Chain A
C-alpha cells in the first residue's frame, strides 16, 4: 500500500483543525443572524499575528493569544460597520477579507522562513507510541484537542443554555428579541468578536503549528471553505466537525496522491478540495426543507431599532 491510512488520518485531523476553528466561530456569528464573509481576512490576520508573536516571544501560547487578538480586532471593524453604522454585511465582509489580506501581507514582510518554537503535545510519548490508536488519538498538539472541546462547548451553549437560547432568538427575529428587551446589537457584536477570535486561532494554528512558516495568501481559501462548512452543516456544530474532517481528508489525500504521482493531473488534485466543497454545498442546498429550516431567519438582515 502506497498511502498509510494511519498517517492519512493523522494528517486529516491536522489539516482540518484551522477550518474547524474558523467554521465553529462563524457558526456562532451566523446563529446570531450576522453573515461575516471576512473569515478569510480574519484567518490570515490570525496567521500573521500568531507567527510574528511566536517568532519574537518563543511562546506558542502568546502566539495563539495574539492571533485571536489580531483577528478579533479586525472583526471589531466589521462589527462597527455592520452593527453600529448599519453597512451592508456582504460588502463589509468582502472589504474585511480584502483589507485583511493586504494588512497581513504588510505585517508579515520579512518574516517568511523565520523559525518558530515547537508546540507542546499534551500526551506523553508512551501513549503516542501505541500502534494505530497512538498516532490517531494522542499525537496531536494541544490546540487540536481544544478545537474539539470548542465544538462540544458551542453545541452545549447553543442548545442547552439560556445564553444560547437568546443568541438563537436574536438570529431568528431581531425585532421580536428587541421587543422583549434583549440588546440585539450588543449580543451580535460579542458573537462577531467570538467568531473573529476563533478564525484568528485557526489562522495561528495554520502558521505556527501546521506549516510553521509564513507566506502571503497562505490561508488559500480556508476561510471560504469554513463559510461553506457552516452551510454544509446546516448550522449544527457536530456537522461542522464532520464537514471539516471531510475537507481535511480530501486535502490530505490529494497531497499524498501528488507525492506518489498517480495518473491524475496535478491541477485536478490541487483543485479537488474546492471542487468537493462545492459538490457538498450543492447536495445540501438542493434539499430545500432542511436547509431552510435551520438557517437563522434574520441572517444578513440589517437591524435598526426604530421605536
Chain B
C-alpha cells in the first residue's frame, strides 16, 4: 500500500520536473493513441515535435508559424494566470477573444478605406476594450450578485459565437464579397493590417505584445504589491481580507486584464494571421490557453515555454494530418492528455509518497 504525506513545503524539484515529466508521459501515451489509430507512433511523435523545427522540408514554413500560434496562446494565458492564481476562474477567454476581434475589426472597417496610421492603434484599443467589457459581465455579476464566474464566462462564449455568426454574415460582411460570409480582408489593407515585423520570423504586433505581457506579469507577480495580493487571495482568501485586500476589486481587475488581453489577441489574429472576420476564424486558442496557463504553472516564464510547446503541437499536428492522415481531433485529445498528466504529477510537488508499513525516520 502507498501512503501520501503532505510535504511541509512544496518540492522545488518537482515544481519544475513535473511539467517536463508530464510532457514525456504524454508523448508515451500519445504514441499509444497513435498506435491504436494504426499509425507508426515513433514517426508521429517525430513529425509533431521534431519536424516542424528541424526538418529541411518543412522548417522554413513552420518555424515562423511557431510564433504566430504561440503569440495568442501566451497573451491569453498570461491574463488567465493572474485570475487563476487568485482563485478567479475566467474560462470564457474564447468569448472575449471573439468579441475583441469583432470590436477591433469593426473599428477598422468603420473608417474603411482610410489608411491613416492611427487606425491600427485604434483597432488594438477597441479590441482591448471589447474583451475587457465582455469579461466585465461575469466579473460584475460575481462581485455584485455572487454569480459563479466559471459558468457565466463559459456560457458567454456561446453568446459571442452567435454574435460572430451575425457579424460575419450580416453587419460586418464584405459588401463586395458577392454575398459570401466574412468581412473585408483586414490584413491586406494598409492601415488595418498587423504585418510580420521581421520577415520570416512570424513575429507580428501580437507576438510582441505577448512578450511584453510576460515581462510585465513577471514583474507584477514577483515584485509588486498587486502580485502579492493576487497570490494571497488565491492561497488564503480569509488572510487576504485580513491583509486589506479588496476581493471585489481583485475580481474586476483580474477578469478585466484577462479579458482585455484575450480581446487584443483576437484583434491581432483577425488583422494578421486569420486576415478577416469569418464565421470560424477562432480555433479554440481561448481554451487551449487554459492548458498553457496550467502547464506553465501559472508562472510567466513557464507560460512562455508552455505556449511555445502547445504551438508546436498545433503545427506538428497539422503536419501529422497532412503526412500521416492523423485526424485533427487527435491533437486536441493529445493536449487534453498533457493537462491530465500535469495535474496528476502535481501530487509529487505537494506530497511525499511512502510505502506503508515502513517506519518513517
A contacts B directly (C-beta below 8 A): yes
Which residues of A have CB within 8 Å of B139?
A: none
Query: Closest CB of chain A to B109's CB: distance in Å?
Result: 18
Residue A288 contacts which of B146, B291, B346, B350 (CB distance < 8 angstroms)? B146
Task: State in angstroms the CA–CA spacing of A112 and B141 once bound together.
Answer: 39
Is A92 interfacial (CB 8 A cutoff)? yes
B336 touches A304 (CB 8 A): no
A95 touches B340 (CB 8 A): yes
Query: Closest CB of chain A to B316's CB: distance in Å?
Result: 15
Which residues of B have CB within 8 Å of A228?
A: 148, 151, 155
A102 touches B89 (CB 8 A): no
Residue A267 contacts which of B147, B156, B162, B294 (CB distance < 8 angstroms)? B162
**Interface bits A276-290 vs B (CB < 8 Å: 1, else 0):** 011001100110100
Query: Closest CB of chain A to B344's CB: distance in Å?
Result: 5
Nearest CB to that of B291 among chain A residues? A98
Task: State in angstroms the CA–CA spacing of A285 and B151 once bound together.
Answer: 12
Known: A91-B343, A224-B155, A285-B145. A270 touches B165 (CB 8 A): yes
Those of B84-100 within 8 Å (CB) of chain A: 89, 91
Which residues of B have CB within 8 Å of A288?
A: 146
Stretch with Cβ within 8 A of B (4 or more), from A103-111, A130-138, A143-151: A103-111
Known: A86-B351, A99-B340. A94 touches B290 (CB 8 A): yes
Task: State in angstroms the CA–CA spacing of A239 and B140 once bound together.
Answer: 26
Task: State in angstroms the CA–CA spacing of A18 and B76 once bound together.
Answer: 32
Known: A99-B340, A102-B331. A270 touches B154 (CB 8 A): no
Known: A95-B343, A99-B340, A102-B332. A220 touches B147 (CB 8 A): no
Known: A94-B290, A102-B329, A105-B332. A274 touches B147 (CB 8 A): no
Is A127 interfacial (CB 8 A cutoff)? no
Is A152 interfacial (CB 8 A cutoff)? no
**Interface bits A109-124 vs B (CB < 8 Å: 1, else 0):** 1000000000000000
Task: State in angstroms the CA–CA spacing of A302 and B1 once bound together.
Answer: 21
Those of A29-61 within 8 Å (CB) of chain B: 37
Known: A102-B335, A106-B329, A304-B4. A266 touches B155 (CB 8 A): no
Is A263 interfacial (CB 8 A cutoff)? no
Nearest CB to that of A224 among chain B residues? B154
Which residues of B have CB within 8 Å of A225?
A: 155
B336 touches A95 (CB 8 A): yes
Is B301 interfacial (CB 8 A cutoff)? no
Those of B310-361 within 8 Å (CB) of chain A: 327-337, 339-340, 343-344, 346-347, 350-351
Task: State in angstroms the CA–CA spacing of A94 and B288 once bound together.
Answer: 11
Which residues of B have CB within 8 Å of A297?
A: none
Most B Cβ at <10 Å: residue of A92, A224, A291: A224
Residue A231 contacts which of B148, B290, B327, B329 (CB distance < 8 angstroms)? B148
Task: State in angstroms the CA–CA spacing of A87 and B37 once bound together.
Answer: 30
Residue B158 contacts which of A91, A95, A227, A274 (CB distance < 8 angstroms)? A274
Task: State in angstroms the CA–CA spacing of A106 and B291 once bound together.
Answer: 19
Which residues of A have CB within 8 Å of B328?
A: 105
Residue B162 contacts which of A227, A271, A285 (CB distance < 8 angstroms)? A271
Which residues of A have CB within 8 Å of B4?
A: 86, 304
Task: State in angstroms the CA–CA spacing of A256 and B327 once bound together.
Answer: 36
Which residues of B have CB within 8 Å of A267?
A: 162-163, 165-166
Residue A286 contacts which of B6, B147, B294, B340 (CB distance < 8 angstroms)? B147
Query: Closest CB of chain B to A29's CB: distance in Å?
Result: 15
Which residues of B have CB within 8 Å of A94?
A: 91, 290, 339
Task: State in angstroms the CA–CA spacing of A179 and B18 once bound together.
Answer: 33
A271 touches B163 (CB 8 A): yes
Most A Cβ at <10 Å: residue of B146, B150, B151, B327: B151
Which residues of A have CB within 8 Å of B344?
A: 80-81, 85, 87
Residue A285 contacts which of B37, B91, B147, B330 (CB distance < 8 angstroms)? B147
Task: State in angstroms the CA–CA spacing of A65 and B165 once bound together.
Answer: 36
Nearest CB to that of B339 among chain A residues? A95
Residue A291 contacts which of B144, B146, B162, B337 (CB distance < 8 angstroms)? B146
Those of A124-174 within 8 Å (CB) of chain B: none
Query: Closest CB of chain B to A196's CB: distance in Å?
Result: 15
Task: State in angstroms the CA–CA spacing of A9 and B159 once bound together.
Answer: 25
A85 touches B165 (CB 8 A): no
Nearest CB to that of B87 among chain A residues? A90
Is B218 interfacial (CB 8 A cutoff)? no
A278 touches B156 (CB 8 A): yes
Is B112 interfacial (CB 8 A cutoff)? no
Task: State in angstroms the CA–CA spacing of A167 and B165 once bound together.
Answer: 44
Which residues of B have CB within 8 Å of A291?
A: 146
Query: Closest CB of chain B to A301's CB: distance in Å?
Result: 12
Task: State in angstroms the CA–CA spacing of A306 and B8 once bound together.
Answer: 13
A102 touches B334 (CB 8 A): yes
Task: State in angstroms the CA–CA spacing of A103 and B154 once bound together.
Answer: 20
Which residues of B have CB within 8 Å of A106?
A: 37, 327, 329-330, 332-333
Residue B155 contacts which of A90, A216, A221 (CB distance < 8 angstroms)? A221
Nearest CB to that of A37 among chain B residues? B150
**Interface bits A185-218 vs B (CB < 8 Å: 1, else 0):** 0000000000000000000000000000000100
**Interface bits B279-295 vs A (CB < 8 Å: 1, else 0):** 00000000110110010
**Interface bits B132-147 vs A (CB < 8 Å: 1, else 0):** 0000000001001111
Is B23 interfacial (CB 8 A cutoff)? no
Nearest CB to that of B344 among chain A residues? A85
Q: Across chains A and B, which 4 residue pairs bring their CB atoms closest together, nearest first?
A: A99-B336, A102-B332, A105-B329, A267-B166
* 14 pairs from A and B in contact (CB 8 Å cutoff): A37-B150, A81-B343, A87-B346, A90-B150, A98-B336, A102-B329, A102-B331, A102-B333, A106-B37, A106-B329, A109-B329, A271-B158, A281-B147, A304-B6
Given contacts A102-B335, A220-B158, A285-B141, 8 further A-B contacts (CB under 8 A): A80-B344, A95-B339, A103-B336, A224-B151, A225-B155, A228-B151, A267-B162, A278-B155
